[in-house]
Amino acid sequence: MSSQTIEIGLLAALSVVLLYAIYTDLKERTIDDWFTLGVALAAPLYWWASGLSLWPDAAIQLGFGLLVFGFFIGIFALGMMGGGDVKLLGALGLWLPPTAFLSLLIIMSIAGGALTIIFLVRHKLAKLAGQPEIPYGVAISLAGFWAIYERYLNHFA
């Protein structure tokens, strides 16, 4: 089995995991710690299958993932994002190079805005009290699909 086959298999597994994140965030409004830990711990296997050298490539990817996690911890501290969302973004930061992660952030923002509008309208129409809970893991996961497969689907780049 070639490393490219393993790489594609790992990306397919990550896609299944992101589908599970969508399901649990919609159902329970939570993304479990064990779940994001598994995504993070699988990243080094993906680095190997992708042909990243230990130094500096894997070290840069690890540093980038930690930087992403640290940045979004600040967003969490401001009460603007849930802890599971922060951990999922940090784990995806281990998988995606910075340019692909930037695409993820852009798509996540667009999907998150649309999701927020849908949930606000639903909340108002149902005349529910309080603030609606937005399952932002859905937007993160959808953006993750885009960032993962964009290089395989976009043959013009």
| The pLDDT of residue 150 | 84
- What is the reported pLDDT for 156? 60
Say what the pLDDT of residue 157 is. 53
Buried/exposed code over 46-69 (b: 16+ C-beta within 10 A; e: otherwise) = bbebbebeeeeebeebeebbeebb
Per-residue pLDDT of 117-154, as tens digits, reads 999 999 999 999 988 889 999 999 999 999 988 876 67
19 HSE (CA, 13 A, CB side): 6
**Cα–Cα dist 3/147, whole Å:** 20
The answer to whether the bond into 56 is cis (omega within 30° of 0) is: yes
- Among 1-10, 26-35, 61-70, where is mean pLDDT lowest? 1-10
pLDDT band (50, 70, 90) for residue 47:
very high
Is it the case that residue 95 has pLDDT exceeding 60? yes
- H or E stretch including 4? helix 3-28
Q: 0.85 cut: is pTM over it?
A: yes
Tell the residue number behind the tokens 């603030």, with chain if given: 131
Structure tokens at 120: 């606000």
> Given the structure tokens 């840069």, which residue do they identify?
60
CA 108 to chain centre: 9
Task: Find where tokens 């952030």 sit.
Answer: 105
Calculate mean pLDDT across residues 27-52: 94
The reported pLDDT for the residue numbered 96 is 95
